[in-house]
Amino acid sequence: MKTFKNVCAQGDIYIRRVDSIPTNAVLVKSENGQCIVTHSETGHHHVMEAADVKMYTLPNSILDCFLDVMNPTKLEHLRSYDTHEPILFEKGTYHVRRQREHSPEGWRRVAD
């Protein structure tokens, strides 16, 4: 399992530790006991245990979310093959950003 101090990446997401969650962020409900940090186009989501983390999004943003990690927990990629190694998050606040790439049509989210 990977660990990190300030920044890391997993697939199409970039994660960095921050001091606080923006005041306009909105709490996201968990699904089946999990926070789905990023939805995958193929159903292989990046998830964390909802008992240990609260997730927030910014209004009108499809790229950003914030995590309030209350207990050490791992971010897992739900795919049985060619999966990303889990990443252990220590207690703290994190900003998660979907990576972008430029295409002939303009900027788009990176597909994992």
Report yes or no on 110 lying in a domain.
Answer: no
The model's pLDDT over 92-111, given as tens digits with 9 standing for 90+, comes to: 999 998 866 667 876 655 65
- Can you give the pTM of this predicted structure? 0.83
Report yes or no on 111 lying in a domain.
Answer: no
Strands 73-77 and 46-49: antiparallel
Percent of the chain scored above 70 by pLDDT? 83
pLDDT average, residue stretch 63-72: 93
Report yes or no on 27 lying in a domain.
Answer: yes
Report yes or no on 107 lying in a domain.
Answer: no
Report yes or no on 47 lying in a domain.
Answer: yes
Domain that holds residue 81: 2-100
How many domains is the chain partitioned into structurally?
1
